[in-house]
């Protein structure tokens, strides 16, 4: 099987083909000495080897063909290589309730959370990652995978309109996260809860404690400020600029640090803030990197081997031979008591 690093380079073959046809047609119309007497022509070219000239031209032409092929970066065949991956299973549970639209962190809580998580995913090596979205209920949005490009694509599509059941059920998110793990090696599993902490049920601490007793680690991340902010209203669903309660009063949402700290403590993890500062993700990434890693699996995969060096060398050899090869005939010598031409 053949693949190319730079396949567009092969388009130069069309230029070579066009140039070859043009030169051939042009020479056909301008044959030198085409009407000259045979004996005269033979005498003129008696010291020139036409076959050698043709061979030189063909070697130079072959050199050009091989050089174009080499420049395209040919990769031929396969090589089997064992790859051993180590890492942990990491699940992000992201709050998508309407309070995550608040803009006390810029550009908004949900956008800030997505940005920081994307920075973590970009720096993972061998870990499997999954994503849960939750509000009044929770759903496994992306199962465990090592395809980080897919994870980033799914992460980018998250918004606060994904779950119609409003509210913030941290216990539901924790249960879904725990159930998303597919085997029993709990010590290599991390659940990270990203939310503003407005728990509307209050069972999350007990669930986190039970999960940690089995070896699982639970980190919590608050997104927002203690002072809080108003919740922007979706312009497609109402005329108010900000959300109001049933009495018409503006709703202010603020983070609940106390419950998130308690969940992290019960889950054996850390409590971290996503604030209006750069690189908030670094604290969480350091906590993940410090954990013991396990061998997830050993993959056997095929990879192409580069062969451009061989074709480059062949091209240079043809060019060298085409350059140094003479075009004169080697005179034959006859013995008549002495060598004569």
d(CA 341, CA 335): 9
Query: Which residue in this structure is represented by tokens 């409003």?
Result: 166
Among candidate residues 213, 303, 223, the one with its CA nearest the CA of residue 257: 223
Sheet holding 2-4, edge to edge: 2-4, 74-87, 294-306
User: Average pLDDT of 311-316?
Assistant: 88
Among candidate residues 130, 138, 134, 231, the one with its CA nearest the CA of residue 182: 130
Checking DSSP bridges between strand 89-95 and strand 128-134, what pairing results, if any? parallel
Give 1-44 as a 3 state SS string: CEEECCHHHHHHHHHHHHHHHHHHHHHHHCCCCCCCCHHHHHHH
Q: Is the per-residue pLDDT at 28 higher than 60?
A: no
- Residues 84-298: name the CATH superfamily: von Willebrand factor, type A domain (3.40.50.410)
**Residue 221 confidence (pLDDT):** 92
Checking DSSP bridges between strand 268-274 and strand 2-4, what pairing results, if any? unpaired
Higher confidence at residue 186 or residue 245?
Answer: 245
Q: Is the per-residue pLDDT at 171 higher than 70?
A: yes
Higher confidence at residue 303 or residue 91?
Answer: 91
Pull the structure tokens for residue 129: 């990652």
Pull the structure tokens for residue 298: 């050993």
Q: Is the per-residue pLDDT at 303 higher than 80?
A: no
d(CA 96, CA 115): 14
Query: Which residue in this structure is represented by tokens 């998303």?
Result: 180
Ranking 18-27, 170-179, 284-293, 324-333 by mean pLDDT, the lowest is 324-333
User: Average pLDDT of 143-150?
Assistant: 90
Residue 189, preceding bond cis, omega within 30 degrees?
Answer: no
Nearest-5° Cα angle at 276, 272 to 278? 80
d(CA 92, CA 142): 10
Ramachandran bin of 337, using left for φ above 0, alpha for ψ from -120 to 50, beta for the remaining angles: left
CA distances from 229 to 214, 218, 239, 251, 257 (A): 38, 27, 19, 8, 15
Q: Is the per-residue pLDDT at 155 higher than 90?
A: yes
Burial class (CB in 10 A: 0-12, 13-18, 19+), 8: exposed
Ranking 39-43, 162-166, 310-314, 335-339 by mean pLDDT, the lowest is 335-339
Q: Is the per-residue pLDDT at 32 higher than 70?
A: no
CA distances from 293 to 88, 93, 191, 217 (A): 6, 21, 15, 13
Confidence band (pLDDT; 50, 70, 90) for 164?
Answer: confident
Ranking 139-148, 207-216, 278-287, 324-333 by mean pLDDT, the lowest is 324-333
Average pLDDT of the chain is: 79
Are the CB atoms for 131 and 154 separated by under 8 Å?
yes
Confidence band (pLDDT; 50, 70, 90) for 131?
Answer: very high
Confidence band (pLDDT; 50, 70, 90) for 185?
Answer: low
d(CA 69, CA 315): 9
Ranking 27-41, 84-98, 164-178 by mean pLDDT, the lowest is 27-41
Q: Is the per-residue pLDDT at 115 higher than 90?
A: yes
Pull the structure tokens for residue 200: 């509307």
d(CA 266, CA 259): 10
% of the chain with per-residue pLDDT over 90: 15
pLDDT in tens, 318-331: 888 888 877 666 65
**Residue 121 confidence (pLDDT):** 93
**Residue 188 confidence (pLDDT):** 75
- Kindly list the domain boundaries of the chain, sorted by start residue: 2-73+307-340, 84-298
**Residue 211 confidence (pLDDT):** 86
**Residue 128 confidence (pLDDT):** 87
**Residue 297 confidence (pLDDT):** 56
User: Average pLDDT of 217-239?
Assistant: 78
**Residue 130 confidence (pLDDT):** 92
Tally of CB atoms within 10 A around 288: 22
């Amino acid at each position: 099987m053949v693949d190319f690093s730079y396949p567009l380079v092969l388009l130069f073959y069309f230029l070579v083909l066009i140039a070859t046809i043009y030169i051939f047609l042009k020479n056909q119309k301008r044959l030198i000495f085409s009407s000259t007497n045979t004996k005269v022509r033979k005498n003129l070219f008696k010291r020139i080897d036409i076959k050698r000239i043709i061979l030189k031209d063909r070697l130079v032409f072959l050199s050009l063909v091989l050089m174009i092929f080499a420049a395209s970066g040919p990769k031929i065949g396969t090589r089997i290589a064992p790859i051993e991956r180590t890492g942990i299973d990491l699940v992000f549970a992201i709050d998508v309730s309407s309070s995550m639209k608040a803009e006390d962190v810029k550009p908004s809580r949900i956008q800030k959370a997505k940005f920081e998580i994307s920075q973590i995913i970009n720096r993972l090596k061998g870990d499997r990652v999954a994503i849960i979205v939750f509000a009044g209920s929770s759903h496994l949005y992306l199962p465990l995978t090592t395809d980080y490009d897919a994870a980033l694509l799914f992460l980018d599509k998250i918004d606060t309109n994904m779950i119609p059941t409003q509210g913030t059920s941290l216990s539901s998110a924790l249960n879904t996260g725990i159930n998303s793990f597919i085997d029993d090696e709990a010590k290599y599993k991390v659940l990270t809860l990203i939310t503003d902490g407005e728990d509307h049920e209050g069972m999350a601490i007990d669930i986190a404690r039970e999960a940690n007793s089995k070896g699982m680690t639970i980190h919590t991340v608050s997104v927002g400020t203690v002072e809080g902010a108003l919740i922007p209203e979706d312009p497609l669903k109402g005329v108010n600029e900000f959300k109001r309660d049933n009495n018409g009063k503006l709703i202010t949402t603020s983070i609940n640090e106390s419950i998130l700290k308690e969940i992290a403590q019960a889950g054996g993890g850390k409590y971290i803030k996503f604030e209006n500062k750069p690189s908030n993700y670094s604290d969480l990434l350091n906590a993940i990197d410090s954990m013991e890693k396990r061998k997830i699996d050993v993959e056997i995969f095929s990879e192409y081997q580069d062969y451009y060096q061989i074709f480059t060398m062949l091209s240079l050899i043809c060019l060298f031979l085409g350059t140094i090869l003479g075009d004169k005939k080697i005179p034959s010598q006859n013995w008549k008591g002495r060598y004569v031409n």
